[in-house]
């Protein structure tokens, strides 16, 4: 089974990255998580991206805040699909990271999820791996079915609540 790389620009991104790690764990997907910065450890980040495909990774999820260049750096050094998660910060609420992550130049794509969209980043990685793995595809179908059931149950529950208004 292909692994998913979860890289983050700083250890301060870990609390958010845990949402992605938990989601990937729920699909029993092997994960490697690293702190690698496009700015503070650029050589290590590049080396990781360059070897990622040969190391058996199927996708890279990159968390970064502020002037967020980590996802772009991964995509510059690897042809694997890269999913960028803009991390919200106290100054600009994550708009800085959102634009830095999403506004990639033509030729070097990064699939950017919402600000702090850690779980969706993991689910997108799961969808990518599911294309070539029937076991993951089955679990993904189960996840989608359960989500639909929960939404339908919520609909029933609010009808009862609304009747009591
Ligand atoms: C980015 O700067 C990191 O991804 C983090 O979100 C942000 C702040 O980093 P620290 O100053 O907390 O290390 O590079």
CATH, residue 44: 3.40.50.1970
Residue 87 has pLDDT above 90, yes or no: yes
Q: Which residue has the higher pLDDT, 86 or 90?
A: 86
Mutate-to-test residue for ligand 1 from 33, 65, 91, highest number of ligand atoms within 8 A of CB: 65
Query: Average pLDDT, whole number, for the chain?
Result: 97
Cα(45) to ligand 1 centroid in Å equals 15
Residue 67's pLDDT band, with cuts at 50, 70 and 90, is very high
Query: Which atom of ligand 1 lies closest to the CA of 64?
Result: 4
Say yes or no: 34 and 75 in one domain. Answer: yes
For residue 39, give its domain range: 3-132
Residue 20 is predicted with a pLDDT of 98
For 66-104, give the secondary structure using H, E and C. CCCCHHHHHHHHCCCCEEEEEECCCCCCCHHHHHHHHCC
Say yes or no: 161 and 109 in one domain. Answer: no
How many domains, the chain?
2
Average pLDDT for residues 87-112, to the nearest whole number? 97
Taking only the tens place, the pLDDT of each residue in 7-50 is: 999 999 999 999 999 999 999 999 999 999 999 999 999 999 99
Say yes or no: 127 and 155 in one domain. Answer: no
Residue 160's pLDDT band, with cuts at 50, 70 and 90, is confident
Say yes or no: 96 and 116 in one domain. Answer: yes
Residue 153 CB neighbours (<10 A) = 10
Instruction: Give the separation between CA 60 and CA 55, rounded to whole angstroms.
Output: 12
Question: Percentages helix, strand, coil for the chain, rounded to the nearest 5?
Answer: 50, 15, 30
- Quote the DSSP letter at residue 105: P
Is residue 66 within 8 Å of residue 45, measured between CB atoms? no
Question: What residues does 164 pair with on adjacent strands?
Answer: none
Say yes or no: 8 and 76 in one domain. Answer: yes
Say yes or no: 144 and 122 in one domain. Answer: no
Task: Give, using CA atoms, the residue closest to atom 14 of ligand 1.
Answer: 9
Is residue 60 within 8 Å of residue 34, measured between CB atoms? no
- CB within 6 Å of ligand 1 — which residues? 9-10, 12-13, 37, 64-66, 87
Q: Note if the pTM is more than 0.85.
A: yes
Cα(101) to ligand 1 centroid in Å equals 14
Question: What residues does 62 pair with on adjacent strands?
Answer: 7, 84
């Amino acid at each position: 089974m292909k692994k998913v790389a979860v890289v983050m620009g700083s250890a301060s991104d870990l609390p958010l990255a845990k949402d992605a790690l938990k989601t990937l764990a729920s699909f029993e997907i092997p994960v490697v998580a690293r702190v690698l910065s496009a700015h503070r450890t650029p050589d290590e980040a590049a080396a990781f991206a360059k070897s990622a495909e040969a190391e058996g990774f199927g996708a890279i999820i990159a968390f970064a805040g502020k002037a967020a260049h980590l996802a772009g750096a991964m995509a510059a050094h690897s042809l694997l699909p890269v999913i960028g998660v803009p991390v919200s910060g106290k100054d600009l609420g994550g708009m800085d990271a959102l634009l830095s992550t999403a506004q990639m130049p033509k030729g070097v794509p990064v699939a950017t999820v919402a600000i702090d969209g850690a779980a969706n980043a993991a689910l997108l990685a799961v969808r990518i791996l599911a294309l070539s793995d029937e076991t993951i595809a089955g679990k993904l179908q189960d996840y989608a079915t359960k989500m639909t059931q929960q939404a339908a149950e919520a609909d029933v529950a609010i009808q009862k609540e609304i009747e009591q208004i």
